[in-house]
Amino acid sequence: METEPKRSFEIPNGKLILIGGAENKSPVKKRSDTNKKVLAAFVELCGKSPSIEVITTASNEDVDETYRVYKACFEELGAKNVGHIHHDNRPPAEADLNERITKANGVFFSGGDQLKLTAVYGGTELLSLMKERYVYKGLVVGGTSAGAMAMSTPMIFDGSGTDEIVAAGVKVTTGFEFLRDVCVDTHFVHRGRFVRMAQVIATNPSSSGIGIEEDTAIVITAGIKARVIGSGVVIILDGATSHGTNITSFDDDKKITIRDLKVSILSMGEEFTIPCRNLPHL
């Protein structure tokens, strides 16, 4: 068992649940049915009869249908109120919206385009309020697919297929920073995204990579203590002892090389501690 690193910064009171996408949303036939284990865990973390805000901003299509599906799912699992937030442009400060976030027990980011999420909400009062409530007030923050990828920094926003095997062929930016020095990728096994995650680790070996498979999630408490739930696996890449990378040779169109990555594959019920190698900036 890994020992928890010493920390001199705020330990979040809230929880994160990051889902690898394609989570089971089919109707539950009876209360003992576990076919919605991942989403049921999110609602359970939010407390008894919780209020939840579903944020569909990452999506550009079928926004109302996306909300309808999650609303029905969360209500079936015990949520009392399920609100809907969607923006296609950066939102101004809105007292009504801030009040909704203040009253919410949980917020849930649906899938789509993670770059749209950061472009719309980065630096906004709304995101600052969510972070404040996550750290101090116990807010539960969930995300699936792009909604999970946006929670970390660094954040992948492009690079697949042949691009991901070329040195520096993966595009990375700053995410929401609920997790720092951690890169989250989703649909990880299903879409074969191991190499592009290795690219991110090669650019900054102090970062860790967490690849989450579909219908699978990690639940994070105290900012760094993680547990795997769901039907698939989570793959963790640690570059602390890696070497021999050619990541800086991107002008030569070389295929990526990185040696001695540490890799762990974890399934349902496994626990791990997210490395905390750098003190966060203020």
In the chain, domain spans: 15-273
In the prediction, which pLDDT does 184 show?
98
Question: What global pTM score does this model have?
Answer: 0.93
End-to-end CA distance of the chain: 30
Are 192 and 162 in contact by the 8 Å Cβ rule? The answer is no
Are 69 and 110 in contact by the 8 Å Cβ rule? The answer is no
Are 207 and 273 in contact by the 8 Å Cβ rule? The answer is no
* Per-residue tokens: 111: 């899938």
In the prediction, which pLDDT does 162 show?
84
In the prediction, which pLDDT does 252 show?
73
Q: How far apart are CA 105 and CA 79, in angstroms?
A: 10
Cα torsion angle, 153, 158, 160, 164, sign: negative
* Per-residue tokens: 205: 């070996």
Are 228 and 215 in contact by the 8 Å Cβ rule? The answer is no
pLDDT along the chain (282 residues), means of 10: 57 97 81 74 98 97 96 96 98 95 98 98 97 97 98 95 90 96 97 96 94 98 97 97 91 89 97 83 48
Q: Assign domain 15-273 to its CATH architecture.
A: 3-Layer(aba) Sandwich (3.40)
In the prediction, which pLDDT does 282 show?
46
- C-alpha distance from residue 237 to each of 19, 144, 227, 240 (Å): 17, 20, 16, 9
Alpha-carbon dihedral 28, 30, 36, 39, rounded to 10 degrees: 90
